[in-house]
Every structure is written in structure tokens, then in C-alpha cells.
Structure 1
Amino acid sequence: MKLSDPRANRSRQALLSAGIEVFLVNPHASLTEVAAFAGVGRATLYRHFETREQLIQELARESLALTDKAMQPLKIQKLEGREAIEAMLHAVMPLANRFHFLLSLWSIAEDDPEVTDIYNRQLDEMAELVEQGKKAGDINTALTTTWIVTMIDCLIYAGWYLVRDNKCDAKEAAESAVQTLFSGIRA
């Protein structure tokens, strides 16, 4: 089946959606479990993804593309520094229920050079925002940009875990991340 075949496209999308759902519940799930959840046969599955790793890497690329899409309006508004970081946290937290499973599967996803390139570009873009915030006096210049970018990344993951576990919603997670980042936890 060609990828331009509508039936093949539906099967591929069903497998991607099933992959997300299955890996959300069990990050160690097999391709057979994903195929069963998608309602497709193993032969169809293997036409699209020969290995579990290929499926996970495709889900990671899709995740990163959705992150880019969530950031697009912020780029159009030409937000910079702290304002852009705050808006970014609010834009990515709603993706929690869709992609937090990648946290436990990242070692597989990052074996794909395309995934690594996209992720590194996103981190570089975040570093630019941090540098803008430093120049504006909103971010402590005594801290390295690498430290701050890593901290922002960790705050996103922490928010995703809390949203997944229904400990808060995406808005509350974003607001808590902003508060922690710019004001700390001191009373």
C-alpha cells in the first residue's frame, strides 16, 4: 500500500493514536498491544513500523512538531524574553496528556537524529529567550543560560506529570512553573 492510499493513511494515524494511548498506560507495551488497540493486524502494523523504536521515534517527531505548532502564535506576536517564556509555558502545558509518556521513552526517541536535531533547535530557541530576559533584567545573569534552559525543561516535565496524575490542570501547572521560575519557592 502506498502512503498516499487513504486506507494506509488511516491505518497509520490509528497506529500513532493507539501508540500514544497505549504508551500512556504502559510505556513498555509491545507493538502487538498497539496494533490490537488500533484495531489493525500485525501485518498492517509492520508495513508502517518495523520496530517499536520506529513507532516511538515517530511519536517523538509528532510531539516536537506539535510543540512547534503551539509556539507559532508566540513567534508571530514576536514575544521576547520573560513574556515569551511565560507564554511558552502556557502553550506547552496542555500537551501533557498527549506526550508525557515520552519522558520514560526518551532514550529510544533520541536515537533518531531528526528527533535530536529538532529538540536541540527548540532548546536553542529557549536559550535565546533566556538571553533576551537577561538583557531586559528579568532573569538572573549569575545563572548560566544552560542551567536556566534545563530548569525550564524540567518545570515543563514536572507540570506534565502533575497534569497526567490529575494533581492540577494545564493552566495551574503553567502558572506554577512561571511562579517557580521567576519568583522561586520562597514565601
Structure 2
Amino acid sequence: MSPTGHLRADAERNMRAIIDAAIVLLAAEPEASMERVATAAGVGRATVYRHFASREHLVRAILDQALQDARDAVIGSRPDDGTPVEALKRAVQAILKVADRYRLVRQIPRDDVELRQRAEEVGAPLTAIVGRGQRSGDFRSDLQPRWCASALGALIQAVTVALIDGEVRERDACRLVVSTFVDGIAAPAPTG
């Protein structure tokens, strides 16, 4: 490997270590300093600032990683397999695993067009599951699929906060989200 390649690999490892340490540290101590992040990552403060000019840049990198991981998790949950409800359960379980790692992430800044686009990529498979459920008659068809996926995202965020606060047990989280969501968009039982 060339010296440049070695330096690039070291820089990449440092950046990964900084992000990983910041994810854990900032979830526990949201106001932790960049110096504390450096210590947790096992690098110098100057190294942190070389990769991230400010705390805002570091938090944005974490948001970016969270969205990538969430997108990968949803796609990996096989959203096209099984019934819409089964697909929804798998997608929610996958997202909850990611959400647990990224407790720091609460909201994407409105003016960050790139991160908002990434969030759309996470939501697209969920919107597709809802649309499939509407076409199959499992879910109400009078609600926009995208609105339903946004509501699902809000439920996931709410249960993540409840998990952090100890109000919900991990084993109950997916069931709470899916049952609340599905009961809210279930197609009405036929009358007569």
C-alpha cells in the first residue's frame, strides 16, 4: 500500500472511531464537548476538528450515518415479502434496532435538503408497504400512503423515547408500534 493509501485508511479509521464514539457518548451526554468525544474515540482533539470543523458537522455526520443504516435495515427487512402486516413488523423491528443505536438523532434540520432526501429513501419502502396493504384491502385506502409512513415514523420515534426513558420494554416495542399503527389504518370490517 502506498503511503497515501495508508494515510487515507488511517484517516478513515479515525473518522469512523470518532463517529462511533460520538454516537454512544452523545446519546448518554447530549452536551458532551468535542474534547470528550476525542477522548472517547481515542484520538486527539485536533484530529476530531480535522474531520469535523464543528459539533454541528459531527452531528450531521451522525444523522447521515443513521439514515444510511435505517435505509439499509428497512431494505434488508424484505419489505416485499409476506403480508403487508408481516412486512411492516419486520421493517419496524429493523428500524428499532437502528433507532436504539442512534438515540441522539431526534429531528433532521428543515433546511438540510440532502439529509431530507436520505430520510425519504428510508421512508419509501414503508410507504410501499402501506400502498400494498391498501391494494390488498388490509389497510384503509382513504389515507395517503406517505402520510401513513410519516405517522409510522412518529410512532417509532415515540417508542424509542419511551425505551430510553424505561417506560417500554424492548420486547414490547415493535408490538406497540405495529398494533397502534395497524389498528389505526386497518380496513373496516365488512358490515352486513
Which protein shows a greater Rg? 2
Would you say how many aligned residue pairs link Structure 1 and Structure 2? 181
Distance change in 2, residues 1:20/1:111 (3 Å): farther
Q: Which stretch of structure 1 is more off in the superposition, 51-60 or 112-121?
A: 112-121
2:35–2:45: 8 Å Cα contact kept in structure 1? yes
Q: What secondary structure sits across from 2:78 in the alignment?
A: helix
Sequence identity of aligned pairs in percent? 27
Aligned AA for 1:20? I
* Alpha carbons 1:90, 1:170 under 8 Å: kept: no
Which residue identity lines up with residue 142 of structure 1 in the other structure?
Answer: D
Match of 2:36 among 9, 24, 33: 33
TM-score by length of 2: 0.81
Deviations 1:37-91 (A, max 9, x none): 2232121111111121221111112111211222233338645633221210111
Kindly state the Cα deviation for residue 19 of structure 1 after the two structures are TM-superposed.
1.0
Is this contact kept in 1: 2:18–2:37, CA < 8 A? yes
The aligned residue for residue 176 of structure 2 is 176
Pairwise CA distance, 1:176: 0.8
Quick one: structure 1 residues 73 and 38, their matched pair in 2 at CA, closer, same or farther if it must change by over 3 Å?
A: closer
2:87 match: 84
- Contact 2:23/2:102 (8 A) holds in 1: yes
Gaps of 5+ in 1: none
Alignment partner of 1:127 is 2:127: yes
**Matched residues in 1 for 2:84 and 2:60: separation?**
31
Q: Kindly indicate whether the alpha-carbon contact (under 8 Å) linking 2:26 and 2:32 is maintained by their aligned counterparts in 1.
A: yes
Q: Take 2:137 and 2:34, find their aligned partners in 1: how far apart are those partners?
A: 50
State the TM-score, normalized to the length of structure 1: 0.83
**1:90/1:175 contact within 8 Å kept:** no
Q: Distance in 1 between matches of 2:124 and 2:148?
A: 12
| 1:93/1:170 contact within 8 Å kept | no
Root-mean-square deviation (Å): 2.4
Of 2-11 and 167-176, more deviation after overlay is shown by 2-11
For the 8 Å contact 2:21–2:37, the answer to whether it is kept is: yes
Partner letter of residue 103 of structure 2?
H
- Detail structure 1 runs of 4+ shifted over 4 Å in the superposition: 1-4
Contact residue 80 and residue 87 of structure 2 kept, 8 A: no
Structure 2: give runs of 5+ residues left out of the alignment: 185-192
Q: Which has the higher contact order (CA 8 A, sep 6+)?
A: 1
Q: Secondary structure at the match of 2:137?
A: coil
CA distance in 2, matches of 1:62, 1:4: 24
SS in 1 for 2:19: helix
CA shift, 1:165, in A, is 2.3
Return the offset for 1:22: 2.0
Q: Name the counterpart of 1:48.
A: 51
Q: SS in structure 1 opposite 2:93?
A: helix
